[in-house]
Structures are given as structure tokens and as C-alpha cells.
Chains A and B, each alone.
Chain A
Amino acid sequence: MKHITMIFATALLIWSAVASAQEVKFGKVSQAELAQETYPGDPSAPAAVLYKKMRLFYEYRQGLGFSLVTELHERVKIYNQDGFEYATVSERLYKDGRDREDVVSLKAFTYNLVDGKVEKNKLEKSGHFKTGLNKYYDEEKFTMPNVKEGSIIEYQYRVNSPFYWSMDEIVLQYDIPIQYQEVSVAVPEYFNFKPSSKGYLPLSPTYDKTSGKINFTTKQRSGNKVTGTSYNNSTIDYTINKTIFTMREVPALKEEPYVNDMDNYRAAVNYELQFVKFPRSTLENYSTTWEKVVKTIYKSDNFGGQLESSRYFKDDLALLVQGKAGGPEKMMAIFQFVQQRMNWNGYNGFYADKGVKTAYNEKSGNTADINLMLTAMLREAGLDADPVLISTRDHGVPLFPTRKGFNYVICAVSLDGGLILLDASNKFTKPNLLRTNALNWFGKLIKEDGSISTVSVMPENTSRVNTICHMQLDPDGMITGKLRRTHSDYKAYGFRNSYVGIQEDSYLEKLESKNSGMEISAYNIKNDKTVGKPVMESYEFTMEDQISKVGDKMYFSPLFHNTMDENPFSLEERNYPIDFSYPWEERYMISITIPEGYQVEALPEETSLALPNNYGSFRYKIVQQGKMLQLMVNLKMNKAVIPATEYPLVKELYKKVVEKETEKVVLTKNGANGDQDGTSGGR
């Protein structure tokens, strides 16, 4: 876990100055727009945003202070029935105690062209709903009336948020095209936000400065009795910094397979609060550098505070480390103890949910509860253990220093100079093997003194599946055999998460139905619960109908069910890296005894292929040794992530794999000569 290379291309904010605004008035929908049948830039689009204007700004109200306002105006064209879903709009609203976000001033219309005239329908109350999703979120939804193929819907509303310090991600790319959008963010000088962008589209914001005013009214009473009140007005002027994103013809974001999460590639801007500086008060820092981000997190009771207490586990710990001298030994004991005791409640997070003490007693908690407790116990036992902040795969890659960028925490132990990463929130993880969702480039390790360093969380070890199989063919095409298969590291992790704790019968049924025609017996599994070791399965089997007998010849692909008969990469081109999560290798050693009375007529040729930069390789070799065929197949990818530029080569490699693996072995009956024998069946 040392140096890491970033393959991600990031679109940087390019400071430029030109962009002409396009003013579109609410309600002025043209006949031409209504008559349009497909979106010119993307005829397959079921709908498109013709115009979007979004304004984020601050409002000051006396007694309440600043609140964050988001105003949205969108005009959406629906081309066909698949686009009807865009006629329902929803907005997630955060709440915390009594503070909550609110949607106000909603105005919405549907426009249709009826007999050459524009017909307009207003959204009524009956089409507008509010739902409580959970403790932290409500959802406001509305669905438009009178929507048909060709309709245009237009709506505007504002969201008032008391959470002025937190701006939601501003999404600049949808699943449908956007013809024109103008998004502005206006922030009073008192707040300093740092923008960061993601996605593959170039953003060219422009900047502007305007001014704002706060009017204070103070009451003054005269005398002891309430005889009169006078008001005092005072004004504070401040500067507003405005950033404007103007974009035309934003393409729809389209799904591609083997991508870690499509949202990571969606064009968007995140604003993270750096500091707040009000007049006559001191500067309050939020985040500017990784150091500061991390310190803010560390200072929190829900994070650093959780590492301080040790009373709740003291007795248990003493028993655990008793008689263990070495660091590695202690680490293993504590890790396994926490892993066994604790149960993940399904929530990620780097702030403790229940608090480590309660979690310890209840034996369940979120990732922070579990891994901070683990860190505290390791420290108490004298080990050099620290928390590491991570962003999970579905949460994006934190390329810029932000608090919101993280959503997960693990633990790192430094042993004899080597760093070992631990995650006790899953029953099948082990040292240096994290949950797959956590394998997202890097984490930030925080020392007790507040210093930070970057550690790679990408696995370098190859996870393997090895299959050794002996089979025997009989003259009728029946196959009997024995198979042994081992799954290591992430392959074992995946296997255990899917199958441990499930009845063997139902697993075997799944296995048989995956390998159709196979009947399994004498199934045996070892180490399925011994996480440190590879899972070893073995079984005996019989198979029918896997060989085509034509005339006096037998044809079969010698990998049988393990043949890759379809290329997983079917798209012509690709924009995003191919993400395998971890390096892996699949290896087959198969011996096939050919039936009595048959001889080998043809075998597939040996082949060996490699991708450049040692990204991956494929080898295939089959040889005859007397009555036996020996097959060796090996496919491996040495890197967890392969850049999109290599896509054509990866696709080509897989094409060759399919070709080679589907090639047939040909056996002929002794004494027969297929080329001349006229008795071949069916002619």
C-alpha cells in the first residue's frame, strides 16, 4: 500500500469569462418547441431539458440569520412514453430536529399542442405530495397533469434551507440531455466555499460580484413604563461572490457495464464550506486543506471522542491479550474479537451512530462504531493504530479536501514498518482485505497528533479461483469426474458472503442449475468459516449431453461449463475505466480421459496473449498424454482498474478468450476414418 497513480481524469474548473445568458420566461413556450418530435442532438432521448435555470443564494432574515435558497426553473420536453417518468419530479428534503428544508412557491404547467393551439394545464394540489422517508429525509413530489407524447412541462419552485453551511451537490448532467442550463451560486463574503467538480464535461464558469444589505432594526423603549417605542435602523453592506455555470447541449449520461458507479462520472459541482467570517467575529474554519478537514472530523465527539474511552472494554481486552507478546498476535486477537462480537447495522459513516459504548453493549453499530472501537482497543493494547477515512465506491472519489467526501472509516495498524488495514464491520474480512465497497483508491490516515497521510486501499494481491478437475468420458458421451476448487482473498470473501450460513442443499441446487446437466455428489467444503484460509470445495459429478456425437466423432469444448461463451464487453467504445475492484486470476487444470475405442483427431492450438503494461493475460494449452488430455487455462487481470483507453484491447482479448475456449476437441472412433467413411449419420 504505497504509491498510487490516479487514472481518473478530472475536469478542472477553467476560469473563463465569456458566456451569453439566454433568458427564457416562465410560461412562454413556443409552438416550435411543442411541435418538435425528437431531440435533435440525441434522437433516442425519451425526454430532454430544454431550459434549466438554477439559482442558489443566501437570504438574511432578522432573528433567523442566513438561510440558503435554491430556485429552480426547468422546462422539459417529453418525446415519448418512456419520457413520462420525467413528468414526475421529486426533491429530497433534509431535516434535523425542528430544522427542515421546505419547498415553496411551486408553480407548474403542462403544455400541449392541440389543433395548432397551445393548451395549458396547471398543476393542482391533488398532484402534489409530501412523504416522510425516514428520520432525516422527507420527499416532496409532484406529477404533472395532461402529459402526452410531445408535451412540455415547466415548473419552478424554491427550496429554503436553514442548513446554510451545507450545499447539496449541484448536478449538471442528467440521464436525459440538457439543451441549455444556467446555474448560479451567489455567496455572501462571510462564507467561503470551495468548489470542486467531477465528471468528464468541461465546465467554464464565469464570475461576478454584487452587493447585499442587511437591515437591522433595534427597538428602544423610553422610560420604565411602556410609553413609547422607537426603532433604530442600521445597515451592513456586504459583497456577494457569484459563480455562473452556463452550458449548452449537455449530453445524457448513459450506463456502461463494469463501472464502479455511474454517478462518479456525472458532471456536477460540490461546494464545501471552508470558513465563515462574520463582521466583528473571529474566523471559523471548516475545511481548506486535508489537514484541516481531518482535524475538524477528529475534533468531533463522534469521532476522536470515541477513541478516548477504554473502560467499557477494559476487562475483555485484558483477557484477550493475556499471554500474547507480539504485536501481530495481539492485533489478530483483537480484530477477530471485534469482528465476532460486532454486527454491522447496514449504515456506513465515519461518525459513530450509537456511540462505541452502546454499540459494544448492544453488539451492533455502524462502521464508525465498530472500527473506532477496534482502533481504541488496539491502541489500549499498545499497538500503533489509527483511523483511516474512506469514501465508498458508491460515494465517489474525494479528489479535493472535503468532509462530505468521506462516508466510511477503517483502522490501520503499523507493524514493523508495514501498514495493515482492518475493517471489522463484516464477518469475512481479514487484515488487508476490506469490504469491496471500500476499495476506492485511497484513504486518509489520521494520527493521534492530527497529522495525516494518504494510504492506498487498492488491493495488490491477486485473488484467485483455482480449479483442478479430473474427468472421464465414456463412449456414450457420459462424463464422470471429480473437481476441487479453491477461492482465495476477494474470491473467498465473495463466496463466503453469498453462501456461508445457507443450507448446503440450496447451494448445491444453485450450483447444479448453473451447470445444467450436472449432478453433484460427495460435496465437501473446507475453511468456509476460517477466514484466513482459502475456501476449498470438492465434489464428484456426472454430466450428460455435454458432448456432441456426430457420426463416429465426438466434439466438445474441454472447459465444458467453465467455457466463457460470451464476451462481457459488447459495446463498441467506452468512456470510463474498466473496474474489476481487485486483481484476479482464474486457473483451470483439467485432465480428461478419453473413452475406450476413441482417439484424438484434433486439439485446439496452444495460445498465449497479454495486454500491454502487464494489465492482464490469457494462456490456453492442451496436450495429449496417452489416453489423457491435459488442459491448462489461465486468465488474469493484474490491475484492479484498467483505463478506458485500453478498452479496445481488453475487448479484443476477451473475444480471443471466447474463441479459444469455445474451440472443440475432436475424437474419432478407432478404425474409422471420418474423411472417407460414408456412414456418417444424417447425410
Chain B
Amino acid sequence: MRILFLLCALLCTTVSQAQKNNYQIHLLDKGLVENANAVVRLAQMDIHISSTRKMTYTVRRAVTVLNKLGNKHARTYVSYDKEKKIKKIEAYVYDKTGKEIMHIKKKDFQDVSAVDGFSLYLDDRLLQHRYTPTQYPYTMEFVYEVESSDTGALPPWYFLSNYLVSLEKGKYSISHTGEALKPVVKEFNLSDINVSKSESPGRLTYTAEQIPAIKNESLSPSFAKIAPHISVRLPNFHFKGHDAAVNDWKDLGQWIDDKLLNGRTDLPQGTKNKIRDLTSGVSDDLEKAKIVYKYVQDNTRYISVQIGIGGFQPISAIDVDRVKYGDCKGLSNYTKALLEVVGVEAYYTVIQAGNAKVDFDPDFADLRQGNHAILAIPYNNEYYWIDCTSQTHPFGFVGDFTDDRKALVVTPNGGEIIKTVAYLNEDNYQKTKAECQLDPDGGIAGKVNIDTKGVQYDNRFYLEDQADDDVVKHYKNYWSNINNLNVMEYGFVNDRDSIVFTEEVDFEASNYASISGNRILFTINALNKNSFVPDRYRNRKQPFEIQRGFFDEDEFIVKLPEGYTVEAMPDPATIENEFGRYRTNLQYDEINNRVTYTRGLLIKEGVYPKEKYATYRNFRKKVSSGDNAQIVLVRK
């Protein structure tokens, strides 16, 4: 009898487990597995706003991990801080039949300091658990509940959480008590997915089903631009001890000014005197600003420390002045304070920094946007932008870190969305001139002169401060097509006023040309070979984007070895299309026995539909093969 009873009990548990979830792998739709390393079986977020100072949300997220690359989508951690408390946290692991194989309880989570990879210190903490998968596929179901007194930055909601992850079912629901707490919602890319929305007084719900995974394709727009998601914000919120009523960027800018920036620009008298001395006799505001920026660059350094409201509020100018370091907010605010002393107006600016250009959304004012702070200096109806975390950038030049994107500028009249300076196409210029001598053994030696501007300047001017061996390493890498490269001498001129960087390099290399009997073969474009060809896709899904474009011009003169003459030369090339222009020309001067090669390559910025991808790829293939073209010499 006892055995039977046990068996029965066992059966019951299996049955109840089977009812509890639908995470069996065989239930997965085939379309969801395609291009996916993980499938989100269920993603559920329930937010309840009970007052501007109290929000709770519950998250249930079950992810079926198909292979080892999918593990990162099933991570189990939640961050918390002074305002945000974790009320409940647990996780379950199921095997492919949906059977529970592990229950991870709150006590199994480790409490650790958060690490962001660049800050010296953060006071945020994490509860996390590291699970070692014992089989694939498996399903991780992670459940937690959070309560927060901050309602200024609601958790973001992406129906697809990343590339190569699909979604079986997603449900987002936000409820509130009272009309004043009604959230503002903006939808992105929802038209092509299976999603339904329902609204009732005090509650808004989105339910999405069966969204296939997106593949990351080269040159495709950023994930945020193509992924289906919603942004949600409260017009009336509370954040880190401050109340706010925000309808637009003007309001939010005003709030930032009043609550986060105000009263943080005091400076000690000594510093004030010093900066006045430095600018005495200078009347032009822009000239004064240059002096102040240089002073900040020479006297401070970037150290990120995020404590309390530190993620949003700068440490005061007086503190930066004392220790001479700060993060982007601290250094921007400090520079602004110094500029104030000499009567120059500057506006604190919040921006999304990074090589990829990400705009602030002009119709959606919330605190989630932005990860960096810079300054905007108005002068003659124009803005000059400076990044105070750089000790080396010329005044008014921000490179590809914060260029050409909409940012929040905090002006005395509240916030304004303004686009930063753009560096496009011909702005990003490089001119390479060289005179080389080819010797009969195939060796090459010469003098090269490179001028760069715009973003190309940004990629190069740091060389000035590099140690000797790093500079040599740079050239060995930059001219990796030249084997046995030996850099004999180099020199730089950094013209910070007109923002041009000049490199002069003397080099030699043995066996550059290949010798084949009576003939010598060599690639005439030795010094600016562009071999970039974007990846081929059997079935391209996304549009593509050239973010900035550039323009290169080259002029190489190659003296041929004594006793040799040109047998064959590549034909000149001219290709012109909507993506840019490629032109080469070769001239053989028989009297002096030398070849002059000229080349121009313009690549234009732009966003293009996926149908044009193959044409663009073809263009780059032609450029690549043109840059590979060889001259054949023959012994006379």
C-alpha cells in the first residue's frame, strides 16, 4: 500500500508540474527557433504606480536556451539601490520536457557590487546567481518583484530583448491609481509584429505573440532603431528625492537645471582669480572659452564615481576643483562654472555618446535617454560643443563620440533638443602623398605625408601622445599589406586651430614586390589600400546605413628600378554612384622611369533600403579589387 501511495503522489506532482508551465521544447514553434540562440517563452511585466513616490513591478521571464550562445539571454540578476528594493527573487530551471530540475531561492543569490566596466566605484548593487547549464535546451524562469520610490525612469520594455532571440509570448501591463499618474506611452516598430493593446481606466496592456528573432547584419541600423519596443514615462514623477511635472523637454530641462544643477557652480576665490588672470585682456567670448577649456584639459582627469544621485547629478564644481578629477557630469559642470566666472555662457548638455549615432526623441521627454554630458557654448547664433572628459581634443571638436545627434541642451529657458555638429563625407578627409623608390630586389622605400581632418583626424591625432613602440606598431598595423615594414623616422604636426593632423613617415620594406623571372609585380596602391567589403547575406533583412562617409585622396610617385620598364599597368578606374565615387589614374613617365598614381575615394553617408545592399557591396568589391591592382615591370 505504501508503495502505491508514493507512486500516486509522484504522478500527481508530475501532472501539476506539467500544468504549471508550457516550457516543453516540443511545443516551440519552428519559426521561433530559426536564427535564435534563445527563445523567450514568456516575458511578463506588471507595473503598478500607486503614487508618484511608489511603484512596484513584477517580472516573470522564462527563456528557453537553445545553445551556449543563448546563455547570456537567461541571466539571473537584478540591480538595486537606496530607492529600489528587491522584494522577491527566485528562479526555476526546467529541462527540455518542462520538468523542474532546480529551484534557485533568494538565499542562493549573491549580493555583489555593480560593475559597469569604466567606473572606479558605483554604489549600486546586484543580486545575482550564476547557473551552470547541464544540458541544452533548458528553460530558465526568473521571477522578481521590485518596489521603488523613484518613478522617473520606468523599466524599458522591448518585445525582442536582443538579436538572435525570439519571443513566444510577451505581456506588458501598467496600472495606476488616479488620472495624474497616467503614463505617456510611445510605440516603436510595432506595425510588423503580432501585438494587441487593450486599455481600460487605470490600466494599459500590451500582449505580443510569436515574434521571430532578428539577425544582426553588418551596417544595419542600431538594434533600438529596428526592434519593437515601447517607451513609457510618467508626466508626474518623483526621482531621487525630487518631485517633477514634465510634459516636454523644456520642462525636463528646467527640472534638471533646478534640481540637479542649481547651486553646484560655486568656486573658491583662488580659482576664480586664476581663471580671470588667464583670460585678462581677452574680450572675445570664444577666445576666452578656448583658454578655459585648455585650462580644464591641462588640470583635470576623468574618473567615474557614481554615488547616490550621481548617475544624474554632477558633483559640485568646488569638489572637482579640490581633487581635479570628475566624471562627464562633474567636469562639464566644472567647466561651465569656470566659464561663468569669465562671463561666458555655456549650457549643460545630456547626450547619448558612442560611435553609433543615437538621437534624443524630441517628442518623448524622459530620464532614460542619454549616457554622457558635454557643454554647448552659444556664440554668434551657433553652438560650439566641447567634451570636458578629453584632455586632448581641440576646442569645438568632439569627433565621432557625440557628433551629429539630437541632444538635450539645458538652457536658461528650460530644455531644448538640438543636434550637435556633424562631420560628413568630405569633412572626414585624408590626403596621402608619397614618393617611393622600388629596388630591383623588390624592396620599397619612401617618404609619406598624411593629412587628416574630421573623424579621420579623430582616429589619428592620439598618435602624438603615444610611446615610440606604439607608434611603430600602429604603422605596422595600418600598412599591414607591406611586409617587413621598417619605420625609420616619423614626425607629427597637430594643428589644433584648423584641426588638421599631419604625419610624416620614412619607411622601407624588403620584398614588397614579387619577382617572377624577368618580371617584377607590385601593387601600386601600397599606402592606402581599402579592402573593406561588407559581409554577404543570402537574404538581407535590414536596411543599411553609412553613418558618416569619408573622402580620401592619394598621390603616389614610384620610381622604378634601373633597367626595368612597365610592361602592363591597370586601367584607370572611374566609378560613380549614389554611394560615392572611386577614381584612379596612372601615368608612366618614361624619361624619369617613374609611375604617378592618383586615387580618390568618396563614400557618402546615408540610409539605404536593403535592396540596394548588394549594389553597395559590389561597389566596395570593385574598390577593393581596384586597390589591389598590380603593375608589371619587365627587364629591358
Which residues on A are within 8 Å of B, measured CB to CB?
44-46, 80-82, 84, 87-88, 121, 124, 126-127, 129, 131-135, 141, 143, 145-149, 254, 343-346, 362-364, 501-503, 505, 509, 512-513, 516-517, 519, 544-545, 548, 550-551, 553, 555, 565-567, 570, 602, 604, 655, 658-659, 662-664, 666, 674-675, 680-683
Decide yes or no: A132 and B535 within 8 Å by CB, A503-B35, A551-B568 being known contacts.
Answer: no
Whether B516 pairs with A663 at a CB distance below 8 angstroms is: yes
Which residues on B are within 8 Å of A, measured CB to CB?
35, 37, 67-69, 102, 110-113, 120-121, 130, 132-136, 298-299, 301, 303, 305, 319, 322-325, 391-392, 465, 467-469, 476, 480-481, 483-485, 511, 514, 516-519, 521, 531, 533, 535-538, 566-572, 586, 588, 621, 624-625, 628-632, 634
Contact among B112, B531, B568, B628 with A681 in the assembled complex (CB-CB below 8 Å): B568
> Measured between alpha carbons, how far is A308 from B205 in the docked complex, in Å?
58
Whether A502 pairs with B571 at a CB distance below 8 angstroms is: no
Which residue from chain A places its CB closest to the CB of B483 in the assembled complex?
Answer: A658
Given contacts A44-B467, A502-B67, A512-B536, 10 further A-B contacts (CB under 8 A): A45-B467, A135-B110, A145-B325, A146-B323, A343-B132, A362-B102, A503-B35, A545-B621, A553-B632, A682-B570
> Measured between alpha carbons, how far is A132 from B303 in the docked complex, in Å?
19
> Measured between alpha carbons, how far is A545 from B621 in the docked complex, in Å?
8
Whether B621 pairs with A681 at a CB distance below 8 angstroms is: no
Q: Return chain A residues, CB-CB under 8 Å to B476.
A: 570
Whether B516 pairs with A666 at a CB distance below 8 angstroms is: yes
> Measured between alpha carbons, how far is A461 from B628 in the docked complex, in Å?
40
Whether A548 pairs with B535 at a CB distance below 8 angstroms is: no
Q: Return chain A residues, CB-CB under 8 Å to B569.
A: 550, 681-683
> Measured between alpha carbons, how far is A344 from B68 in the docked complex, in Å?
13
Whether B120 pairs with A512 at a CB distance below 8 angstroms is: no
Whether A655 pairs with B484 at a CB distance below 8 angstroms is: yes
Q: Return chain A residues, CB-CB under 8 Å to B120.
A: 88, 129, 141, 143
Q: Return chain B residues, CB-CB under 8 Å to A566.
A: 480, 483
> Measured between alpha carbons, how far is A124 from B514 in the docked complex, in Å?
64
Q: Return chain B residues, CB-CB under 8 Å to A567.
A: 483-484
Give, as a whole number of angstroms, the nearest-CB distance from A256 to chain B: 11
Q: Return chain A residues, CB-CB under 8 Å to B531.
A: 516
Whether B324 pairs with A147 at a CB distance below 8 angstroms is: yes
Q: Return chain B residues, CB-CB under 8 Å to A364.
A: 132-134
> Measured between alpha carbons, how far is A619 from B491 in the docked complex, in Å?
42
Whether B323 pairs with A126 at a CB distance below 8 angstroms is: yes
Whether B391 pairs with A81 at a CB distance below 8 angstroms is: yes
> Measured between alpha carbons, how far is A87 from B301 in the docked complex, in Å?
10
Q: Return chain B residues, CB-CB under 8 Å to A503.
A: 35, 37, 67
Q: Return chain A residues, CB-CB under 8 Å to B572.
A: 682
> Measured between alpha carbons, how far is A602 from B519 in the docked complex, in Å?
10
Decide yes or no: A344 and B535 within 8 Å by CB, A44-B468, A566-B483, A681-B571 being known contacts.
Answer: no
Which residue from chain A places its CB closest to the CB of B622 in the assembled complex?
Answer: A545
Contact among A46, A146, A604, A680 with B467 in the assembled complex (CB-CB below 8 Å): A46
Contact among A135, A509, A683 with B535 in the assembled complex (CB-CB below 8 Å): A509
Decide yes or no: A132 and B112 within 8 Å by CB, A126-B323, A141-B120, A517-B533 being known contacts.
Answer: yes
Decide yes or no: A664 and B521 within 8 Å by CB, A129-B120, A503-B35, A567-B483 being known contacts.
Answer: yes
Which residue from chain A places its CB closest to the CB of B628 in the assembled complex?
Answer: A548
Q: Return chain B residues, CB-CB under 8 Å to A505.
A: 35, 538
Q: Return chain A residues, CB-CB under 8 Å to B568.
A: 550-551, 553, 674, 680-683
Decide yes or no: A143 and B621 within 8 Å by CB, A131-B113, A659-B511 being known contacts.
Answer: no
Whether A512 pairs with B535 at a CB distance below 8 angstroms is: yes
Give, as a whole number of angstroms, the nearest-CB distance from A301 to chain B: 23
19 A/B residue pairs, CB under 8 Å, sorted by A: A81-B465, A88-B120, A129-B121, A129-B305, A143-B120, A143-B325, A145-B323, A145-B325, A146-B324, A362-B102, A501-B67, A501-B136, A502-B67, A550-B632, A659-B483, A675-B634, A681-B571, A683-B566, A683-B588
Q: Return chain B residues, CB-CB under 8 Å to A149.
A: 298
Give, as a whole number of angstroms, the nearest-CB distance from A428 to chain B: 12
Give, as a whole number of angstroms, the nearest-CB distance from B471 to chain A: 10
Q: Return chain A residues, CB-CB under 8 Å to B67.
A: 501-503
